Amino acid sequence: MNTLPAAFEERIKKQWGSEARLFLDALQAEAPVSIRQNPGKWLTPEELLPEVAPLSPVGWCDHAWYLDKRPVFTLDPCFHGGAYYVQEASSMFIRHILQQIMPTGPVRVLDLCAAPGGKSTLVASMLDKDSLLVANEVIRSRATILKENIIKWGQDNVVVTNNDPADFHALEGAFDLILVDAPCSGEGMFRKDPTAITEWSEEHLRLCSERQRRIVADIWRCLKPGGKLIYSTCTYNPGENEAMLEWLQDEWQGESLPITHSFEGIVPGNSKAHCYHFYPHKIKGEGFFVGVIQKNDGKEFCPRKSKKSSTAYTRIPDHLKPFIRTPERYSAYATENTTGILPTSQADFITTLETTLRILYKGCEMAETNNRKLKLLPASALWQGLETKHCAVYEADRKTALTFLRKEDIPAPGITGDWILVSYRGIGLGWCKNLGNRLNNYYPKEWRIRMDITL
């Protein structure tokens, strides 16, 4: 049983009165487990995780499910292949919000505090092919995890950046939507993260609120006129929640937008701003807070032309076209000996990003060429746009797939072809080089499964 901070318990008792005991008891209960499927790598729920069926749906998010128990996700090749994301259910309410506020036509979206990638992959799945998501994380180690999860999700209209919010100042008016899932005191994660309890203090709450104001102030200018900011936290503290939305209304003349819903248990905030609380004794999920503020003034985006990007965009090399389902949609880029692709419709804007931001990943890295020898890269195996009919595919059983994911040797399948796509239930996992009598495993060593596998 977790010992909660006394000052936190006192605040909850004042807020909830006779209902406080239900709230505090819920924080000692086991947290529910939920996943969200990748619509670009579709399996039926029964095919996806048959060992934990039955599944029940998360009401406010399509293709999302509660599990009746927590499996060992590390031992599921579909998890490594990006067929689903393990995400806390309350935060999936972002999808319901986006269904109401997403503009029509191509949009540019910034997920400012994106690691590890749950909300970014959710947003990406809702974008049309000509839209773009910039997924940013300021902490380099967390940005690396974000990059891995974006690659495994397999969409090409995403750019991963590693920047402080202040670095975006040159992009005034550039984004239709900005999601700020702000770093917070983490009260909503008390039952999942004991560290959040030990770090809690009244001083920590104040510091979190100050940091949140700096983050939002830095990024507000990047919304276009009429653009919308989705502000969320995983805490219950009013100073980090309602007070932040009211500050945006008063200080920045933002307009609070209501979100209609019919889901029981979602509690409106005690504020002049429209906002929504998720409490663990009210809904099946963790603590979560969210509200939407619209910017009605400001400037339209005007890209600066004083700097030049070091990246040149060209036509796709002929030797890569067979691996691309719709090559007419893409432009190629080259960095040293790596060739990648990205949507032509967003190439100019990505060029602008490169003059301002530290970009870790963009589009899809397809291949390396050394001494005219082609080496297919892991991201292309996980990419949703891969033309698999032109690939030699090794459809592995679970044991073989997990052996591959441990970066160990797997049996040569007797398939002809230079590069072999290792697949599990139709989900691409990575590449092997066919050496005739054996396969050379090219799964990234930093992604490999390290735990012992007993099947």
Residue 40 within a domain: yes
* 428 & 360 share domain: no
Structure tokens at 295: 């910017």
Q: In the predicted model, what is the mean pLDDT of the chain?
A: 94
48 close to 83: Cβ distance less than 8 angstroms: yes
Residue 1 within a domain: no
Residue 218 within a domain: yes
pLDDT digits (tens, 9 = 90+) for 74-84: 999 999 999 99
pLDDT band at 311 (very low <50, low <70, confident <90, very high): low
| Residue 433: its H or E element | strand 427-434
The pLDDT assigned to 442 comes to 97
Q: Can you tell me the mean pLDDT for 120-149?
A: 97
Kindly write down the DSSP assignment for every residue of 157-205, as one continuous string.
SEEEE---GGGGGGGTT-EEEEEEE-----GGGTTT-HHHHHT--HHHH
Residue 59 within a domain: yes
* 172 & 241 share domain: yes
Please state, for a pLDDT cut of 70, what percent of the chain lies above it.
98
pLDDT band at 51 (very low <50, low <70, confident <90, very high): confident
Number of domains in the chain: 3
281 close to 264: Cβ distance less than 8 angstroms: no
Q: Which of 294, 316, 346 is the last residue of a domain?
A: 294
The answer, yes or no, to whether residue 307 has pLDDT greater than 60, is: no
* 259 & 314 share domain: no
* 320 & 285 share domain: no
* 182 & 248 share domain: yes
* 287 & 407 share domain: no
* 40 & 83 share domain: yes
* 364 & 265 share domain: no
| Distance between CA atoms of residues 422 and 445, nearest Å | 16
* 373 & 438 share domain: no
Choose, from 61, 78, 234, 432, the residue flagged as catalytic. 234
The pLDDT assigned to 78 comes to 96
| Distance between CA atoms of residues 225 and 300, nearest Å | 7
The CATH number that applies at residue 416 is 3.10.450.720
Q: Which of 231, 260, 294 is the last residue of a domain?
A: 294
The answer, yes or no, to whether residue 306 has pLDDT greater than 60, is: no
| Distance between CA atoms of residues 389 and 329, nearest Å | 19
**234 in active site:** yes
| Residue 405: its H or E element | helix 398-405
The CATH number that applies at residue 113 is 3.40.50.150
Structure tokens at 233: 């936290």
The answer, yes or no, to whether residue 310 has pLDDT greater than 60, is: no
* 422 & 371 share domain: no
pLDDT digits (tens, 9 = 90+) for 338-347: 999 999 999 9
33 close to 44: Cβ distance less than 8 angstroms: no
Residue 423 within a domain: yes
Q: Which segments within 258-395 are labelled E, that is strand?
A: 267-268, 275-278, 288-294, 313-314, 330-335, 338-343, 359-362, 364-370, 373-376, 392-395
Q: What is the pTM of this model?
A: 0.96
Give the helix ranges, DSSP H, for 229-357: 242-252, 347-354
pLDDT digits (tens, 9 = 90+) for 21-45: 999 999 999 999 999 999 999 898 7
The pLDDT assigned to 237 comes to 96
The count of other CB atoms within 10 Å of the CB of residue 287 is 26
The pLDDT assigned to 231 comes to 98
The answer, yes or no, to whether residue 421 has pLDDT greater than 60, is: yes
The count of other CB atoms within 10 Å of the CB of residue 348 is 11
| Distance between CA atoms of residues 355 and 138, nearest Å | 17
SS3 149: helix
- Domain interval for residue 425: 391-455
pLDDT digits (tens, 9 = 90+) for 85-125: 999 999 999 999 999 999 988 999 999 999 999 999 999 99
Residue 67 within a domain: yes
* 276 & 410 share domain: no
The pLDDT assigned to 213 comes to 97
pLDDT band at 371 (very low <50, low <70, confident <90, very high): confident
Residue 349 within a domain: yes
pLDDT digits (tens, 9 = 90+) for 270-302: 999 999 999 999 999 999 999 999 999 999 998
The pLDDT assigned to 436 comes to 83
SS3 314: strand
| Distance between CA atoms of residues 161 and 102, nearest Å | 23
Q: Which of 294, 328, 359 is the last residue of a domain?
A: 294
The pLDDT assigned to 344 comes to 95
pLDDT band at 404 (very low <50, low <70, confident <90, very high): very high
pLDDT digits (tens, 9 = 90+) for 202-257: 999 999 999 999 999 999 999 999 999 999 999 999 999 999 999 999 999 999 99
* 84 & 210 share domain: yes
